[in-house]
Amino acid sequence: MIIAIANQKGGVGKTTTAVNLASSLAAAERRVLLVDMDPQGNASSGVGVRPGTTPLTIYDALIGNATLAEVLQPTPQQTLFLAPATQDLTAVEYELFDEDRGTHLRKLLSTATDYEFVIIDSPPSLGVLTLNVLVAAERVIVPLQPEYYALEGITYLMATIDRVKNSLNPGITVEGIVLTMWDPKIGLLIRWRTRCASTSASSTQSSRATCACRRRHRTACRRCFTTSAARARKAT
Ligand SMILES: Nc1ncnc2c1ncn2[C@@H]1O[C@H](COP(=O)(O)OP(=O)(O)OP(=O)(O)O)[C@@H](O)[C@H]1O
Ligand SMILES: [Mg+2]
């Protein structure tokens, strides 16, 4: 299964989510490939491979100078492998100009048949790199920091996912939204959580979000919102 961690907003916890998910699956002895698609290379250093210390990176594979197998690196976890990234990856935005520019990663990952899970960390943008991620993915997990401008960003991301679903990747589904850096004491955040649940449910049919009662509702649960708001009022 190929799972992308995506949100064009920066610093919301994409890499933290990708590294922890990949590492947890590997700790459960599943064969996992972590693909770093962010030129910042944070996912690479997150699993112990310092950017710039490997001869080949995912950039070489994307532009056709190497196979995926040639760029893979082992990690301290026996069943976790990494396709590393460095700053070079920014050049992909300018170098992939063919009409298949969105499908390069999908073609590469079709050769990764040894892995039960492929986890892809995305950059904070909606350019060619993220397009390649969304075209390759079967599922998308969206880390979301509950703050004022996040909803605008998430609407745009969901529209992009819908466009990819209607064109290059009909099989893509949004697995869910992961609220990160959540502070339960702030009542405003509770209202955001409820709005996020309704937004994700209406923009992509298969999206689900966990409401305050910890059950997975398609829409926000009025009863839970009332109880959690009362709890937050009590806490402040
Ligand atoms: N759940 C969390 N609680 C508190 N801090 C967190 C949490 N998740 C991530 N962080 C911290 O927030 C910062 C940004 O996280 P991270 O690098 O994972 O975000 P990102 O979305 O990948 O950023 P970028 O868009 O730059 O790639 C890091 O310093 C990380 O340690
Ligand atoms: Mg990151």
Ligand 1 binding pocket (C-beta < 6 A) is 10-16, 38, 40, 42, 124, 180-181
Q: Is 110 helix (H, G, I), strand (E, B) or coil?
A: coil
What is the C-alpha to C-alpha distance for residues 72 and 70, in angstroms, rounded to an integer?
Answer: 6
The pLDDT assigned to 132 comes to 97
The number of distinct structural domains making up the chain is: 1
In this model, does residue 216 exceed pLDDT 70? no
Q: Is 5 helix (H, G, I), strand (E, B) or coil?
A: strand
Average pLDDT of the chain, as a whole number: 85
In this model, does residue 89 exceed pLDDT 60? yes
Mean pLDDT of 132-146: 95
The pLDDT assigned to 122 comes to 98
Compute, in angstroms, the gap from residue 65 CA to the centroid of ligand 2.
25
The pLDDT assigned to 230 comes to 55
Return the higher-pLDDT residue of 122 and 147.
122
Mean pLDDT of 119-145: 96
Beta strands in 37-170 (DSSP E): 73-74, 80-83, 117-121, 139-144
Q: pLDDT digit string (tens) for 66-81? A: 999 999 999 999 999 9
Mean pLDDT of 39-65: 95
Kindly report the length of the chain.
Answer: 236
Could you give the angle at which helices 150-166 and 128-136 cross, rounded to 10 degrees?
A: 60
Give the pairing type, strands 173-179 and 117-121: unpaired
Structural domain harbouring 200: 2-235
> What are the φ and ψ backbone dihedral angles of 70, each rounded to 5 degrees?
-70, -25
Contact between residue 177 and residue 146 where contact means Cβ atoms under 8 Å apart: no
Q: Which residues pair with 3 in a beta bridge?
A: 119, 139
User: What is the distance between the terminal CA atoms of the chain, rounded to a whole angstrom?
Assistant: 43
Q: pLDDT digit string (tens) for 11-29? A: 999 999 999 999 999 999 9
Q: pLDDT digit string (tens) for 157-214? A: 999 999 999 999 999 999 999 989 876 665 555 566 666 665 654 444 444 444 445 5
The pLDDT assigned to 98 comes to 76
CATH assignment of the domain containing 110:
3.40.50.300
The pLDDT assigned to 209 comes to 47
Q: Among 16, 42, 119, say which to mutate for ligand 1: greatest number of ligand atoms within 8 Å of CB.
A: 16
